[in-house]
Amino acid sequence: MSAAPQVVIGPYEADRDADAVARIWREVRWIDDEETHRAALRTFLDGAPVEVGRVDGSAECAVARTMGEYDLDTARVSLCAITGVTTSHIGRKLGLASTLTSRALRAGAEDGAAISALGMFEQGFYDRFGFGTGAYAYETVFDPSSLRLDHVPYRRPERLGDDDLDEMYKATIDRRQHHGAVRLHSAEQFAAEWGFTDDRIALGYRGPNGAVSHFLVGSLKAEYGPFRVRWLIAHDDAQVLDLLRLLRELADQFHAVKMAEPAGVQLQALLDQPMRQRSRTKDAAAATSTDAIAWWQARILDLEACAASVCWPGEPVEFVVDIDDPVGRFLDPADGWAGVSGRYRVRVADPSSIERIGDAADRSSTATMEAGIGAWTRLWLGIASASTLALGNELHASPELLRALDRAIRLPRAEPGIYF
């Protein structure tokens, strides 16, 4: 019988772990063997706190986190994004990803993050750490020549490259505010994502100060498309239209564009004869279509900070909620933050508030709710209404409280605006 593997958790050390982590990323097919990808990975690892799980001395799991900000309603709260969870083919079933992910959440909470978010490989795994499914993102494939933007003047763009990365990163941080927007405070991660983007085309515009103000970046693998937009970064609505008009003018090069619908835009409404496009291209490789998928998840780390960011000017809604946070099953409270399980008094008002009360506190005189932190996050970010969450057995409350919360918590669709 072989000896049990020796498992050690510790911070990533480039001299010791770089080759092993690159091997993990190749095994999960996040990168290939090209030096461009390897260089981008080195940049990524240099720009984020990373912990690894070493098995018999070799890193077999790595988890990265990046601090940033999340636009919650009209406020902005601190964010800890889990930007990479990778496990090698021989490092599985050892609990490494669970241990490292829960430790990353603790570190983010102790660094002051109010919320955490991540891109999920599949729904289910991250639920065990309290994550709830994010809002749908709408990804549309369309013929750019059909964009009805005659009222938007065409502006000749500039070609952007490596020398513009600092300005592009700043434009990404300074882009327009909208509910759900994610801003990652890591120029290295931005540069890494740039390096991971194959067959890249980057075009944009400069503001009066000469710096890049708005831009788009995408991949074009075949002559006629589709052109896959990875970033569409704008400071205001006029700049969004600038970039969409630019796509229209490139229609003689590529016949299809694939992109996530920008926040505040309904792309179908801007297309000429979208139903005809859909029927005529239904058997094409890049058929006109719109798909909805929730690719990201989130969970609240600081209940008080997130509650204070949501305002309801109507009649206040007051209740007591018992919150269950499963991440506590992976963390020892003696070592620090271990989740937010407990009983709380909530007031949805202007501003809203939440305060911890004793777990044995009487709650017979007020409305009550029971919810996991994932469902609570989905409610508080406006991803799903209280009634929808109750229908899905994610929370439990009286019909009267559900109706009151349906009226009080109404937020726009949360749209991260970038991939991470």
Domain residue limits at 177 = 138-293
Domain of 277, CATH number, reads: 3.40.630.30
What is the rounded distance in angstroms from the CA atom of residue 409 to the CA atom of residue 294?
Answer: 20
CA angle 331, 333, 339 (to 5 degrees): 65
The predicted model gives 285-290 an average pLDDT of 88
Residue 132 covered by a domain = no
Quick one: 94 and 192 in the same domain? no
Return the pLDDT at 14. Answer: 97
Residue 312 covered by a domain = yes
- Of the candidates 47, 39, 116, 51, the residue with the CA atom closest to the CA atom of residue 77: 116
Return the pLDDT at 362. Answer: 76
Average pLDDT, the chain: 96
Residue 206 covered by a domain = yes
What is the rounded distance in angstroms from the CA atom of residue 81 to the CA atom of residue 115?
Answer: 8
pLDDT above 70 coverage of the chain, percent = 100
Return the pLDDT at 360. Answer: 77
Quick one: 311 and 359 in the same domain? yes
Residue 416 covered by a domain = no
pLDDT-derived band at 1, boundaries 50, 70, 90? low
Residue 89 covered by a domain = yes
Buried b (16+ CB within 10 A) or exposed e, 263-281: bebebbebbeebeebbeeb
Residue 120 covered by a domain = no
Tally of helices (H runs) and strands (E runs) in the chain: 11, 20
pLDDT tens per residue across span 231-245 = 999 999 999 999 999
pLDDT tens per residue across span 289-343 = 999 999 999 999 999 999 999 999 999 999 999 999 999 999 999 999 999 999 9
- Tell me the whole-structure pTM to 2 decimals: 0.94
For residue 278, give every residue at least 6 positions away whose Cβ sits within 8 Å of its Cβ, in sequence order, or none.
287, 288, 289
Structure tokens at 245: 């008009």
Return the pLDDT at 390. Answer: 98
Quick one: 156 and 183 in the same domain? yes
Q: Given a cut of 90, is residue 149 above it in pLDDT?
A: yes
Quick one: 73 and 184 in the same domain? no
- Of the candidates 196, 264, 273, the residue with the CA atom closest to the CA atom of residue 234: 264
Residue 16 covered by a domain = yes
Quick one: 279 and 334 in the same domain? no
What is the rounded distance in angstroms from the CA atom of residue 178 to the CA atom of residue 323?
Answer: 28
pLDDT-derived band at 61, boundaries 50, 70, 90? very high
Q: How many domains does the chain have?
A: 3
Quick one: 156 and 211 in the same domain? yes
Residue 93 covered by a domain = yes
Quick one: 220 and 306 in the same domain? no
Quick one: 285 and 187 in the same domain? yes
pLDDT-derived band at 284, boundaries 50, 70, 90? confident
Quick one: 309 and 403 in the same domain? yes
Give the rounded distance of the alpha carbon of 407 from its chain centre.
Answer: 26
Go through the chain and tell me how many residues it has: 420
Quick one: 67 and 154 in the same domain? no
Quick one: 279 and 312 in the same domain? no
Do residues 135 and 280 make contact, with C-beta atoms less than 8 angstroms apart? no
Torsion sign over Cα 102, 105, 109, 110:
positive
Domain of 384, CATH number, reads: 3.30.1050.10
Quick one: 307 and 286 in the same domain? no
- Of the candidates 413, 381, 418, the residue with the CA atom closest to the CA atom of residue 173: 418
